[in-house]
Amino acid sequence: MSVIYTRVALIGLGLIAGSMAHAMRRAGLAGEIVGSARSPETRAIAAEIGLCDRITETAAEAVKGADLVVLCVPPGAMGAVAAEIAPHLAQGATVTDVGSVKRDVITQVGPHLPQGVHFVPGHPLAGTEHSGPRAGFAELFDNRYVLLTPEPDTDPAATAKLRALWEGCGARVEEMDADHHDLVLAVTSHTPHLIAYTMVGVADDLRRVTDSEVIKYSAAGFRDFTRIAASDPTMWRDVFLTNKEATLEILGRFTEELFALQRAIRRGDGDHLHAYFTRTRAIRRGIIEAGQDTDAPDFGRVKVKREPTER
């Protein structure tokens, strides 16, 4: 594949920026990758592992001469970063972001960007519960969706170029209205995370169970909740603060359904439970068929065969 952007500036050097750097390198999509993070520790690690061609102390310095700027900071920090870089952006450059919420990011970032700079918001639907510059890997976006949410007045050529970059990183790209994105993600990601946080919190409250039994007997259900509930607290705090309306809407519906299931259990209404679980099972099949998860037993976890240790 050939170079799509001459100079890409990554602002924030965590899991997503790191994975983008690896994926762009793998396909030779960027002439130069410049990175910047607020803390000296993160910049030092990024330099040590050679994440970017160049690391700068400030975001303002990183964006100079870049034809693509990617904001890879938590959703709540996007506006402040946009204000910092705005006077230093090159004419004709594209600014994008990878934030998990779109409308609020557009509201924060848009007003800071000067005329002649294109803003194409984006969100890769790929991640892990790990953070920081060492967490990134080139395959993160392979076959995963990236949603771009350009506003109606966004230059289609800028969107098309960014689409090509993401496709070069292995992703499938779709365009969507920002509000619709936030509602869809409230259903598929934000509310499920909140439920996982709650379930793990409930278990933690039941001290007599958690002390040892929750860990010792952690079966697939709870164990998978704990993986989700280990996600970055800053990012997820910001997700709920910036996607408030859609999350509250879905949470309201969730609570109603929960009460209905609670009533079915109390009344011994097995038919209701069975019909409900049959419907939900079909959704899992759809996800497997769409290639978005594995149907290997135990979610494809590799069993490590333990050799007896010598004494």
Q: Is 15 in the site for ligand NAP (CB under 6 A)?
A: yes
User: Smallest gap, in angstroms, from Cβ of residue 274 to ligand NAP?
Assistant: 34
Q: Got the DSSP string for 178-217?
A: HHHHHHHHIIIIIHHHHHHHHHHHHHHH-HHHHTTHHHHT
The residue from 79, 121, 122, 127 that contacts ligand NAP (CB under 6 A) is: 127
User: Smallest gap, in angstroms, from Cβ of residue 281 to ligand NAP?
Assistant: 26
User: Smallest gap, in angstroms, from Cβ of residue 175 to ligand NAP?
Assistant: 17
- Among 38, 131, 132, residue whose Cα is nearest residue 80: 38
Q: Pick between residue 116 and residue 233 the one whose CB is nearest to ligand NAP.
A: 233
Residues 6+ apart with CB under 8 A from 54: 32, 33, 34, 35
The residue from 4, 7, 21, 42 that contacts ligand NAP (CB under 6 A) is: 42
How crowded is residue 114: how many other Cβ atoms within 10 Å of its Cβ? 10
How crowded is residue 25: how many other Cβ atoms within 10 Å of its Cβ? 16
The residue from 51, 52, 72, 85 that contacts ligand NAP (CB under 6 A) is: 72
Q: Is 12 in the site for ligand NAP (CB under 6 A)?
A: yes
Q: Is 121 in the site for ligand NAP (CB under 6 A)?
A: no
Between the CA of residue 118 and those of 148, 161, 296, what are the distances in Å?
13, 11, 43
Among residue numbers 77 through 106, which ones bind ligand NAP (CB under 6 A)? 77, 81, 98-100
Q: Is 246 in the site for ligand NAP (CB under 6 A)?
A: no
* Secondary structure (3-state) at 146: strand
How crowded is residue 140: how many other Cβ atoms within 10 Å of its Cβ? 22
CA distance 20 to 8: 10
The residue from 131, 242, 243, 247 that contacts ligand NAP (CB under 6 A) is: 131
Residues that bind ligand NAP (CB under 6 A): 12-17, 37-39, 42, 72-75, 77, 81, 98-100, 123-124, 127, 131-132, 135, 232, 235
